[in-house]
Structure 1
Amino acid sequence: MIGVYDVIKKPLVTEKGVTKKDNERTLCFEVAAGANKTQIRQAVEMLFKVKVEDVRTSTTAGKLRRRGRFAGYGPDWKKAYVKLKAGEKMPEYAEI
């Protein structure tokens, strides 16, 4: 069982994430690879004191890394798009 503080690793501040935050009440986070949607929902509701409407997740494959003639891959990671219910106050990334 993953603890609430271990589910969310960090907010993802990308152009797409900022646009979704401004227009669609959606926050973007990097989350633990073993976390499911229910755990992500509970963690966001508890940590930020908001109500969650929807959670969408995506697993991203690790990139190819090269060190001279040696090649390997970076770790796979998971991101979550969390949509807040209407009327909920958006937490600022400076507060996170």
Structure 2
Amino acid sequence: MAATHLRAAGLGALADLGFRGLDNDILDPVIVTGYTASRTHKLTPGEKEANRVLVIGRAPVEHGFAHLKNWRILTKLRTDPAGATRLLRALLVLTNLEVNR
């Protein structure tokens, strides 16, 4: 369902391994997840590099949400989803400005 909505909106998402299997279109994925290793399947250097790139892309978003959780903004939010989206975007911009200062 999430992949269908993202594809219809023309968007994509970087996700952790918990979202594996949600996007069945192998040739045109909209939810990009990393690779996992097992005892019998070791990661190739290309798969390791792909995981590194994925982590680098997700890190700023994860840090932004960590700041929002520390400020307890999300628990006090009582507004419509459109207002919440604008508020969260503004807070993430301010957070990034503060972190980069």
When the two structures are superposed, what TM-score results if normalisation uses the length of structure 2? 0.21
Greater Cα radius of gyration, structure 1 or 2: 2
Q: Which has the higher contact order (CA 8 A, sep 6+)?
A: 1
When the two structures are superposed, what TM-score results if normalisation uses the length of structure 1? 0.22
Q: Which has the higher strand share?
A: 1
